[in-house]
Chain A
Amino acid sequence: MAERAELVAEQLTAGYGSVNALDQVSVSVASGSITAVLGANGAGKTTLLRTISGMLRPRSGRVTLDGAALRRRPEDVARAGIAHVPEGQGVITELTVEENLRLGLLLRPPGQRAAALADAYQRFKALADRRRQLAAALSGGERQMLAIARALLTGPRVLLLDEPSLGLAPKIVAQVMALVRELRDEGMAVLLVEQNARGALSIADHGVVLNVGRVVADADAAALAADVSLRRHYLGF
């Protein structure tokens, strides 16, 4: 298993054009835990992940991994061991399932690749059955699994998941959440962005609630789930 990792985002401010989508947001996650990032549409959750993974340059603040500042470009962040599964999964539909997975493998040393791929097919049997099909032929749930499997193949210590349950049927959502819990139990640090706050809080250890780019709550998942007025105001249940 990988060594302990800690990802800390401090006072991030970022945005598009003249608007700041994030305003001094701080968030952290360590190995073997899930931090959920919650809030309504437009709260800045996706912007937060994009800023951490380097897709968007912050206007102020910094991101560190194990105390060391992260380099800015997404490819460098990925190589540092942080895998970002973007909103909409980011599955490359023109490639086959196996080609998508092999893309993830490129960050592994050549000697480990065959074994890692075999493990992935073990864990994600549905993908094994469809390995030669174009990713475009997969259903929403299968694409989500493919995106996560592909991200895992890069050998990350931190996983950034952007709305993995979006557009999926409840049964599939449950499978995805179960998978994320498994990964946490295996030692992964997971930053989980979700609109489905109830589902996210049911597996998370810690939670951060954003509203219009600012942090309005930062507490244990259990405490957040128990706070009825907070839930009603910001989380929709």
Chain B
Amino acid sequence: MLTKLLTLLILLTAAPLHSQDCVNCLPGYNPAPILPVQPWPLELIPIQVPVYPRNSRASFCKRPVDMVDTIVLHHTATSSSASAQDINRMHLNEGTAADPWYMVAYSYLVGAAYPGDSRPANAVIEGRPLDIVGAHAGSNVFLPMTDTQRQIWDSGQVVCGRDGEEFSVNNTLVQNGRIKANVTTIGVSVIGNYSPRSISNPLGYNRSRPRLPSVGTIDMIARLSCQLQKKYPNMKSIKWHSQYHSTECPGTIKNVVGQIKTKAKGYGCDFN
């Protein structure tokens, strides 16, 4: 087992990981260096961990990862050639001067070529660390808490603040016994646009040629989800953005959630 793991590590660190093209970069943008893959756990899929610029003036919330029970699928609605750094950069432009965003809103980004395309290379990239509450399911969506989540909340382990300041409990995260969806979920977003072209979605697919996630993309999401469940057994559900509020996101990705769960089962996981 150890030899296998070592071999895999050597292979992964020797090969070029992901050449990030700058087709979709903003003017003056320089791609950040790609760091070696995360050492933990390599059984199912390697995860790239870039260093992202963050907004130190922004407030954000921290949680124990055991608070998370659901993986929520998204698409970025960008072109598939956008990079994780592009998404981070766009999210740093979000919010208001008084309440700016801290960093990329999703916990993971899945870089994926459209079916029939060879670029960009497939890759799973870490976004916002898992212990930082994301901004993806809708800021006004509240969900019932499980017993475990209530215990964690009651123990004051979900706290908010700014870098360099003291963190404290923010009671606006809970309303009528329900907690903000972003606290108990993580966002996994496939880079690309999986909705039909429309007046509000010029980068969408032509209706005569619907765009579904490729087999490789489905497999990457299944591997990532299963890998997360193996480390954090409370993550038991896979859902998608439009189950939380009215939106086209994640387009046709919602049509393959059953396939993702079946694949994950093949890797030894069980999602409802």
Asked if A pairs with B, the answer is no
Interface residues of chain B, those whose CB is within 8 Å of chain A, are none
Binding site for B on A (CB under 8 A): none
